[in-house]
Amino acid sequence: MDRFKCKYIFRDDYNPVYVNGAQGGINTQGEIIINFYLERSALPKSQTYGVEEGKINARELESEPADLKESFVRVIENGIVMNYKTAKEIHRWLGSHLETLEALEALSSEK
């Protein structure tokens, strides 16, 4: 046999999630763990504004949490665990796609 078909099975609610970072490492079983996150500004639980002459003042008086302006959050929606062999294959696969993107970027910058 010179070919085979791989069928993909996914749930009806399959929906890719945007990530812009990852955290993880190697667990005690020697597997790689990657927790994907979306990093964004923190959202307030509440904000308090003053009222002057019957109008809301645009200047914020306080917020909850108090350190809102110095905070950001990393929302972890999902993660993966893989063994060494799988990690090597994904590394190769991702590297191949990165090379393709770099070649396309080089072509577009020449124009």
Q: Determine the Cα angle at 53 with ends 48 and 57, to 5°.
A: 30
Bridge partners (DSSP) of residue 102 are: none
- The DSSP secondary structure of 2-65, one letter per residue, reads ----------TT------SEEEEEE-TTS-EEEEEEEEEE---SEEEEEEETTEEEEEEEEEES
Say what the pLDDT of residue 56 is: 82
> 2-20 pLDDT, tens per residue?
898 888 899 999 899 999 9
Tell me how far apart the alpha carbons of residues 55 and 68 are, in angstroms, rounded to a whole number.
Answer: 24
Bridge partners (DSSP) of residue 75 are: 38
For residue 25, give both structure tokens: 């490492």
Say what the pLDDT of residue 94 is: 96
Mean pLDDT in residue range 63-71: 88
* Phi, psi dihedral angles at 103 (to 5 degrees): -65, -45
CB atoms within 10 A of CB 36: 19
Side chain identity at 85, as an amino acid letter?
K
> 20-60 pLDDT, tens per residue?
999 999 999 999 999 999 999 998 999 898 888 888 878 88
